[in-house]
Amino acid sequence: MNLITYKEGATLFQSIRTTKFKSMRIQLRFFSELTAKEATAKTLMLGMLSAKNDAYPTRRELLRKLETLFDTRLYGRSVKLGKKHVAQIDMQFVNPKYTDIPATFMNEVIDHLETTLTRPLFDEASLKEEKRFLNDHFASEYANKDIYASRRYQTLLFKDHPYRVPANGERDFVEGITLEDIKDAYHSMHEDPLVISNVGDGNKTLETEVKKRFKSKGKGTLEAFLVRQKFQAREDVHETLKLSQDRLFMTLESDTYYTDKDVWAMRVLNTLFGGTSESMLFESVRETHGLAYQVASSYQPFTSLITAMAGVSHENVEKAKSLVREELEKLKNGAFSDDDLDIAKKNLAQSIKKSYDTENSLAIKAFVSELFDVPLEKEDVLALLEDVNRDDIKRLARTLRWVFTYVLGGTSHA
């Protein structure tokens, strides 16, 4: 990867130079502690920043300006990385050479981003509108029962955990946020450690101007922020809601976190267990027993947890649970073929290679490599994957503990 890194105070600037894209990207990520009220205020503030400003005082004027810049996209949103809140401002635009104003286009884009950051328009009417949007967004999560079930599961699972707060904050805090809170959130964001990522063809104007114009005013630096917190096994929860299909979540705790040497072996284990449509869960729950259309597992290395998920008819929930447990026992006993292990590793290798094909993924790779001292180059990552063997899988499977099961559904079928 052709990566330029530059640090100044609390700002880390990275430019990834590549000519394979027609678009370019600037991303600003401000890192802060994740608390419910702060996350809610920052989500509202980011929405306001990206909708209007002093130069473009209405949504329409601002959006039309971006559209005039060949459909440039500007997003301000909250993201969660481990226990950190990330206030992310993301600008995507076409390479100036494909526009009819190649000499001035880049400056116009950077000017616009600077205006977004430095000339906010915080007023009561805009806050009211943004609150309405955020409240509606929370409300719409209930309409989508996959999202709702997942939210309920996360809330119950992480109830005593530092990772429990959602990126967008919580619905209960929305009404209480004042204009002063928004201004505080804005000013504190400028003091937060900042990671700037450019992805593009190495345009000098872009690199020089972004480096010059965007800096954190803070004095601290961004430190690695992994939390290792053990989960206590707890009572299963079954919540009742009339659904056409029950949603089942089963949680396994491991001892393997993001920076641990076994993290790639754990990723292979998860891929083999339920990570793809070639996995053991897919083969058993869907293909052999025909209980589900969707069944999968995911591994979250920041929490060490693996979650198995399935959508099954109510009468099949107990059978699905027992099949998921059976598949874990097979992993522990090494009851999987070399071929299946090879396929899991190949699937993961594919994902790794493909992840170098998107601008966002390149930007994330660059800063997490800097922050957590994990490999950046594709070949180095693939070498770690290649080292994983069957004994690693058996050994790690034996460290896994069931800690929580959640089911939503369980009434008569629609």
Partner 1 sequence: MHKHEYAAYDETFYEFSVQGRLKVYVVPKPGFAKTFVSASVPLGSVHEGYLDENKKPVNVPRGVAHFLEHKLFEHEGKDISKVFSKYEASVNAYTDHHQTTYLFSATGHVLENTKRLINMMYAPRITEEGVEKEKPIIIEELNMHGDDPYYHAHRALLKNMYTVHPLRDEVLGTKESINAMTKEALIAMHEAYYTPENTEVIIVGDVDLKAIEQSLNEGLTLPKKAEKTPMPIKEEVSKSVNTPFETDTYDMETPLLMMGIKLPRTTFKGDAPIMNFLKYSIALEAALSTSSKAYESLLEKGLVNDAFGVDVIFETSYAHGLMFAETSDVNGLRHAVQDILETAREEGISEEAFTHVKRKMIGHHISLFDKLESLASEINDYLQFNLYFHDLPSMLESIELSEINEALKSIDADTIAFYGGLPKGTK
Residue 349 sits in the site that holds partner 1 (CB under 8 A): yes
CB of 337 to partner 1, least distance (A): 11
DSSP conformational letter for 327: H
| Residue numbers 3-22 binding partner 1 by CB under 8 A | 18-22
The angle at the Cα of 287, spanning 282 to 293, to the nearest 5 degrees, equals: 70
CB of 253 to partner 1, least distance (A): 28
- What is the number of other CB atoms lying within 10 angstroms of the CB of residue 407? 23
Residue 243 sits in the site that holds partner 1 (CB under 8 A): yes
Residue closer to partner 1 by CB (options 73, 211) is 73
Question: Which structure tokens are listed for 68?
Answer: 């005039």
CB of 196 to partner 1, least distance (A): 21
CB of 105 to partner 1, least distance (A): 11
Residue 126 sits in the site that holds partner 1 (CB under 8 A): no
Among 55-63, 82-90, 327-335, 396-404, the segment contacting partner 1 (CB under 8 A): 55-63
Determine phi and psi for 342, rounding to 5 degrees: -60, -40
Instruction: Return the closest-CA partner of residue 252 out of 396, 46, 49.
Output: 396
CB of 262 to partner 1, least distance (A): 23
Residue closer to partner 1 by CB (options 20, 159) is 20
| Residue numbers 222-241 binding partner 1 by CB under 8 A | 241
Provide the mask over 186-225, with x wherever binding to partner 1 is found by CB under 8 A and - wherever it is not.
Answer: ----------------------------------------
Question: Which structure tokens are listed for 149?
Answer: 């079930």
| Contact of 272 with 249, CB cutoff 8 Å | no
Among 1-9, 173-181, 344-352, 385-393, the segment contacting partner 1 (CB under 8 A): 344-352
CB of 353 to partner 1, least distance (A): 4
Sign of the CA dihedral running 297, 300, 305, 311 = negative
Sequence-distant (≥ 6) Cβ neighbours of residue 191 within 8 angstroms = 10, 216, 217, 218
CA 38 to chain centre: 18
Instruction: Return the closest-CA partner of residue 336 out of 411, 405, 283.
Output: 283
Residue 104 sits in the site that holds partner 1 (CB under 8 A): no
State how far the alpha carbon of 132 is from the alpha carbons of 39, 43, 144, 344, 368, in Å: 16, 13, 19, 45, 34
Report helix, strand and coil shares of the chain as percent, to nearest 5. 45, 20, 30
Distance CA 300, CA 233 (A): 18
Q: Name the 3-class secondary structure at 347.
A: helix
Residue 71 sits in the site that holds partner 1 (CB under 8 A): yes
Select from 7, 60, 119, 187 the one that contacts partner 1 (CB under 8 A).
Answer: 60
Select from 5, 155, 244, 259 the one that contacts partner 1 (CB under 8 A).
Answer: 244
Binding site for partner 1 (CB under 8 A): 18-23, 58-60, 63-64, 67-72, 92, 94, 98, 129, 132-133, 136-137, 139-140, 142-145, 241-245, 276-278, 283, 286-287, 290-294, 311-313, 339, 342-343, 346-347, 349-350, 353-354, 356-357, 359, 378, 413-414
